[in-house]
């Protein structure tokens, strides 16, 4: 079953095409990760799906309707988007920022309601930032700030959530924390999540569905077990690798092979105790 799909999508900035006749389906209620080399069109694809960028050909379809035809505010009630580098206005508090997530649910004249308050409070609780509600966003750490942005997207109460590299610039502990939070969300609310991720191994572990993009087209899509193979990695990223089973999750795990230090050289090996 699928609600969100791209059909024959082509797009680009100015004259240079980035996406070329790309077609894909996003499985509903699952976590989808989009991976690919730099400048392969991952972010462009996400921007097209959230209607931030108008495709030059083809279309993105939500529930059978092309997203270009859905009014902006109505679309924002169905589909949330967290861009790569949103800007926190100087001196805004966490609670105020998260409250902005209610914008698509308010008419031009309607007043703030108890339902709005409840949605904001729920988002703060789900991301565990209630204690930070009165703090200025500027004063938060990178990981906390990312949770605030996700809380804003949660307050939007959409069934589909798109995230562009939600873990960039975070240390490994915060990366895991954010991804765990997204899984919680997916499991408790059934939210469909689509995210661009840089780290192949985290993508393979956390996603139910992996889409590998190469040169503006979908190169492979499916369960991480079938997508993350030595062949795919070589074709998509241009690097030789070894695929091992992740001992904790059973998902595939990728070890890149360079020109040096890849053979078992006893002089580099620490003796096991």
Position 263 contacts other proteins (CB under 8 A): no
The sign of the dihedral angle between the CA atoms of 95, 164, 78, 205 is negative
C-alpha 91/C-alpha 196 separation (Å) is 29
Please report which helix (H) or strand (E) contains residue 244, including its range. strand 241-245
Stretch that binds other proteins, among 89-97, 165-173, 175-183, 196-204 (CB under 8 A): 89-97
One character per residue 161-180, x = contact with other proteins (rule: CB under 8 A): --------------------
**Residues 122, 144, 168, 229: which binds other proteins (CB under 8 A)?**
122
Nearer to other proteins, 85 or 267 (CB): 85
Find the binder of other proteins among 117, 171, 184, 231 (CB under 8 A): 117
| Contact pattern from residue 9 through residue 38 relative to other proteins, giving x for each residue in contact according to CB under 8 A and a dash for the rest | -----x------------------------
Give the C-alpha separation, 237 to 230, whole Å: 10
Polymer length in residues for the chain: 273
Distances (CA, A) of 53 to 44, 48, 75, 150, 208: 8, 5, 14, 22, 26
Give the position of tokens 């087209």: 217
DSSP E strands in 110-223: the ranges are 160-164, 192-196, 209-214, 217-222
Smallest distance from other proteins to CB 86, Å? 4
Exactly one of 2, 65, 68, 89 binds other proteins (CB under 8 A); that residue is 89
The residues of the shown chain that bind other proteins, judged by CB under 8 A, are 14, 47, 50-52, 72-77, 80-101, 103-104, 106, 108, 117-118, 120-122, 124-126, 130-131, 133-134, 149, 153, 156, 188
């Amino acid at each position: 079953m699928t609600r969100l799909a791209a059909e024959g999508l082509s797009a680009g900035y100015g004259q240079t095409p980035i996406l070329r006749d790309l077609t894909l389906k996003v499985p509903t209620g699952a976590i989808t990760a989009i991976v690919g080399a730099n400048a392969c069109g991952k972010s462009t694809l996400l921007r097209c799906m959230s209607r931030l960028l108008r495709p030059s050909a083809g279309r993105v379809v939500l529930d059978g309707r092309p997203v270009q035809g859905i009014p902006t505010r109505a679309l924002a009630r169905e589909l949330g988007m967290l861009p790569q580098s949103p800007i926190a206005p100087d001196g805004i508090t966490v609670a105020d920022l998260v409250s902005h997530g209610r914008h698509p649910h308010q008419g031009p004249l309607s007043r703030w309601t108890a339902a709005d308050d409840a949605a904001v409070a729920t988002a703060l609780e789900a991301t565990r930032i209630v204690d930070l509600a009165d703090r200025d966003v500027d004063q938060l750490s990178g990981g906390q700030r990312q949770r605030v942005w996700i809380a804003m997207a949660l307050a939007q109460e959409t069934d589909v959530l798109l995230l562009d590299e939600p873990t960039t610039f975070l240390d490994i502990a915060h990366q895991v924390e954010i991804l765990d939070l997204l899984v919680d969300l997916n499991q408790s609310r059934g939210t469909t999540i689509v995210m661009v991720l840089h780290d192949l191994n985290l993508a393979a572990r956390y996603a139910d569905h992996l889409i590998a993009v190469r040169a503006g087209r979908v190169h492979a899509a499916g369960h991480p077990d079938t997508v993350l193979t030595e062949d795919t990695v070589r074709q998509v990223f241009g690097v030789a690798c070894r695929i091992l089973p992740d001992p904790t999750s059973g998902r595939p795990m990728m070890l890149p092979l360079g020109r040096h230090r890849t053979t078992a050289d006893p002089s580099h090996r620490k003796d096991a105790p």
